[in-house]
Amino acid sequence: MTGRPPELSGRDEALLVQGLRHGPRSRGNLADLTGWSRNTVAAKLANLIHEGWIQEAQEARGDRGRPKVLYRINPKAALVLVARFDADVIGCALCTLDGRIAISEERRMQGDLTAEQTVAELDNMLGRMTETSGVPRVLVRTIVIAVPGPVSGMTRTVPWSRVGVLPADLGARFGMNVVIENDANLMALGMRMEFDPCVSLLFILVQTGIGAGLALPGGLHRGLAGWAGEIGHIPVAAAGETPCICGNRGCVAGIAANPALMRQFARPERPISTVEHMERLVQDGDTQAIMALREAGRNLGEAMTGLVTGLAPDVIAVGGRIARLGDHVITGIRESLALRTPPALSSQIRFAACDDHYIRLTRGAAELALDVMVDGRAG
């Protein structure tokens, strides 16, 4: 890495970088994409290589057997700080533009933080990681903050009680672009990169609450005020009159999120206080625990019915700690969707368990950061 991250010098250069977002291309490919002459493309590529934005990749065999050079985005052109807020943990990672983590750190939150305390903690963690890794702080070009719950408004602020309302002027405070995004959205974006760009993907995240990310061919679908994908607040029959933090009753999160599952797993002689304890029961083959997971999947499937029928996603991915426990939840979701959606649809949907959802989150965050750096907008 150089001492200072590169800057795109104009719209033409940004268009070329955009053309390399989905993999290496040759000069001829880029000429066809842009409509420019090969000489024009070659000159602009040389400029981008000099600036550090792109680099030559492996040579490919041409149509007549002659090798041709491919070009790709330089993943080390800049770094991205990815920060995530879980129920009681702040996690930070510095990653390259392809989502590879260079260094990471976690800190447990002691109670609720004010917005000012949150900003100070992020700044401290960034300082420690750059010092430990020996990376110049100036190389960090964008901060992506992942939060549970809806992210509202054009200013991308989040009204979330654990950290207060994050200020809209975070970019000015850190001296770089700052993007706040829903965590399930980032995971959906990161996982969709493993499929063809035309694939639509619905990512279901089961943790303290339940959310969904919608990664469509045109980008993320956030909906009105960021509320798209908040499926944890869809009522299901089995939840009855169970109260929910949203103010309604009968939401699926009340019977299928991690806290509800731990209550279902517990017995007077066997209290359950952690997700790790729940995982051990399933891994040990506890029949009641396994059936509880499958029933949670059925309830999730019921909540998802309208969304799945309306969107007809190519892929449904399930992430969170429960994704490490086999296909029990996915099996339950399949069963519900098979009963409630047209067979011609439910039989074709692909399902995937994502047991490393934080890796997908980081990849999605890097992709979103590139959107900001190249296009000036987030997703």
Tell me the per-residue pLDDT of 314-335, one tens digit each, with 9 for 90 and over.
999 999 988 888 899 999 999 9
- Let me know whether 16 and 48 are in one domain: yes
Task: Give the residue-averaged pLDDT of 100-128.
Answer: 86
CB 215 within 8 A of CB 191: yes
- Let me know whether 330 and 349 are in one domain: yes
- Let me know whether 252 and 350 are in one domain: yes
CB 135 within 8 A of CB 93: no
1 falls within a domain: no
Residue at which a domain ends, from 20, 52, 73: 73
Query: Does 191 score more than 50 pLDDT?
Result: yes
162 falls within a domain: yes
- Let me know whether 152 and 183 are in one domain: yes
- Let me know whether 241 and 169 are in one domain: no
Res 161: pLDDT: 47
- Let me know whether 174 and 84 are in one domain: yes
Tell me the per-residue pLDDT of 221-255, one tens digit each, with 9 for 90 and over.
999 888 899 999 999 999 999 998 888 999 999 99
- Let me know whether 204 and 261 are in one domain: yes
Query: Does 153 score more than 70 pLDDT?
Result: no
What is the pLDDT confidence band of residue 65, given thresholds at 50, 70 and 90?
low
What is the pLDDT confidence band of residue 4, given thresholds at 50, 70 and 90?
low
Most confident of 57-61, 204-208, 354-358: 204-208
Residue at which a domain ends, from 73, 93, 116: 73
- Let me know whether 328 and 351 are in one domain: yes
Query: Does 164 score more than 60 pLDDT?
Result: no
CATH number at residue 371: 3.30.420.40
Poorest-pLDDT segment among 42-51, 76-85, 102-111, 233-242? 102-111
Task: Give the residue-averaged pLDDT of 343-371.
Answer: 94
Mean pLDDT, the chain, whole residue set: 87
- Let me know whether 46 and 178 are in one domain: no
Q: Order the strands of the 54-61 sheet from edge to edge.
A: 25-26, 67-73, 54-61
Residue at which a domain ends, from 73, 106, 127: 73
Range of the domain at 23: 11-73
Res 112: pLDDT: 72
115 versus 252: the higher-pLDDT residue is 252
What is the pLDDT confidence band of residue 6, given thresholds at 50, 70 and 90?
low
Task: Determine if the pTM surpasses 0.75.
Answer: yes
69 falls within a domain: yes
Q: What is the number of domains present in the chain?
A: 3
33 falls within a domain: yes
